[in-house]
Amino acid sequence: MKNVAANPVTAFNAVSRQPSISGTAFVHPMACVIGDVIIGAHVMVAPLASVRADEGTPFHIGAGSNVQDGVIMHALESTGDHLEANTYEVHGKRYAIYVGERVSLAHQCQIHGPALVEDDCFIGMQAFVFRSRVGRGSVIEPGARLMGVEVPAGRYVEAGRTVSTQGEADDLRPIDEGYPLKALNAEVVRVNCELARAYREG
């Protein structure tokens, strides 16, 4: 596919690598995936998504996740020992961006590495995640921004809010039974896994 390509060799990224994409995933022809990107089973990458591991690298997108229309994934330079701070370690390997399983990256959100989004998270439309870790099962509502923080598991960030200190992140409200978006991610994941299958087979 012309929209899936190796990264160019540069002074800051001396090795050219092709993306590794599961046979059950679907990358739309109008999306772009470049470089050392691992895309897991049943992942849906929608039109106009840009997944570009040509500066910071590698990227990982776990099984059952979705990268919706207009999503941008890019990262700061990460190769070389002195740039380890621009990565997160997961299962003994370092990543410029790591997205876990059953994660929804909704329309036009930006994930700029270093970034780690754990399993079962929802990152809302036009949200921004930079130099941050999002704990499992969290919801980042549309237009929210995370900069340099670690969001504990099972919390939510209100639409439009900027969280830029760890104290703010630690004080985020937990997702409880009354939270209106509690079940949203599971439904979005279900729909997008089905879309990945239907597009692939169609």
Digit-coded pLDDT (tens) for 75-109: 999 987 778 899 999 999 999 999 999 999 999 99
CB 18 within 8 A of CB 1: no
Q: What is the CATH number of the domain that holds 26?
A: 2.160.10.10
- The DSSP secondary-structure symbol of 126 reads T
Digit-coded pLDDT (tens) for 37-49: 999 999 999 999 9
Interatomic CA distance for residues 130 and 10, integer angstroms: 23
- Residues with Cβ < 8 Å from 86, sequence gap 6 or more? 56, 75, 76, 77, 78, 96, 113, 114
Interatomic CA distance for residues 47 and 114, integer angstroms: 24
Enclosing domain of residue 17 = 4-201
Q: What is the pLDDT of residue 100?
A: 98
The yes-or-no verdict on residue 36 having pLDDT over 70 is yes
Interatomic CA distance for residues 63 and 66, integer angstroms: 9
- Give the type of residue at 133: R
- Catalytic residues, by residue number, are 55, 77
The yes-or-no verdict on residue 6 having pLDDT over 80 is yes
Interatomic CA distance for residues 202 and 31, integer angstroms: 17
Q: What is the pLDDT of residue 84?
A: 86
Domain count, the chain: 1
